[in-house]
Amino acid sequence: MNRSINFKTITIAAAICVLFTFQACNSGENVSGYSTSSNGLDYKIITDSNQPKAKVGDYVQYYSTIRTTKDSVIFSLNNSKTSEIGQVSAPKEKGDPIEILTLLGKGDSASCLISAETFFKTEQLPPPLKKGDRIKLDIKIIDVFAQAEFDAKLAEIENQKLLLAESAAINYIKANNIQAQRLPSGMYYVVENPGSGVQPENNKNVKVNYHGTLFDGTVFDSSLKPGREPFEFILGRGQVIKGWDQGIPLFKVGGKGKLIIPPSMGYGEQGQGSIPPNSWLVFDIEVLGVSDAPQKQGGMPMQ
């Protein structure tokens, strides 16, 4: 969710996703009915629902459309699946279109006249716009939230995500009859053999064998594959996912076990390679060795 309104975001989308719905138009510009604000923004209120107007610091959910001054659509986000959410801020320059949000409330809509060069910044102007042209930026407000209300909604959404993710892990553990323990971070682990050697510590070089799978059994990586060698990394340096930095010290050298790592401590919402977004990761690991980290010339630890 985008937490700050950014007309540059719309700009980039427009430059990439121009809809090329232009038609020949013999009439002139349709720019009647626009007023000029004290900050130099040319605007026109289209709908006033007589609702409280957004204030600086509030969050708004809105649709947007970009048109030529002859009303040909360049780009449009105008349905429930493509609305934006952003924070209202004070204008940063003369004619800044962000100002329009403070003139609108829930259910309101308006249109702004903006220089195409100013709006598209360094982006190439989409056809048929040229230097000196203006565009119409139409905004329709779906809802307005005070910052505290928005933060509460965001926290609720994040909590629901965590609960859903946690239930997936619990179901996996039960279905596979795994006797796992849970850390406060949300990661689960199983100690099959604690080991009897050196305990891995931050800034030490650690050598491990591992076998990584998803909950459905898909193998996404393994050092046990033919031709592969044990993996070495420096603990606590961010060279591996957070789940490894936290989970590997649970075992001494010679130790074996399982790490069940939540997305937030793995590859998160982005995923990586064959690992889908928001995936839990299951690692069977064996700690093979712990040694001093390699040194740079001059004796400084490697970063």
Residue reference for tokens 């997936």: 168
Rounded Cα gap, residues 174 and 188, in angstroms: 13
Tokens at 46, concatenated: 């289209």
Catalytic residue among 48, 133, 143, 221, which? 221
Q: Is 221 a catalytic residue?
A: yes
Question: Is the peptide bond prior to 230 cis by the omega test (within 30 degrees of 0)?
Answer: no
Q: Residue 65 is which amino acid? A: T
Catalytic residue among 22, 34, 220, 231, which? 220
Q: Is 120 a catalytic residue?
A: no
Residues in the chain: 303
Catalytic residue among 141, 234, 241, 260, which? 241
Q: Are 35 and 42 in contact (CB under 8 A)?
A: yes
Catalytic residue among 210, 234, 245, 251, which? 210
Catalytic residue among 62, 74, 267, 285, which? 267
| Cα-trace Rg, the chain | 27
| Separate counts of helices (H) and strands (E) for the chain | 4, 14
Mention every residue, 6+ apart, whose C-beta is less than 8 A from residue 302.
234, 293, 294, 295, 296
Catalytic residue among 10, 261, 283, 285, which? 283
Rounded Cα gap, residues 59 and 149, in angstroms: 9
Q: Is 34 a catalytic residue?
A: no
Q: Are 112 and 39 in contact (CB under 8 A)?
A: no
Q: Is 170 a catalytic residue?
A: no
Rounded Cα gap, residues 166 and 260, in angstroms: 11
Tokens at 204, concatenated: 């030490």
Task: Indicate which residues carry an active-site annotation.
Answer: 210, 220-221, 241, 267, 283
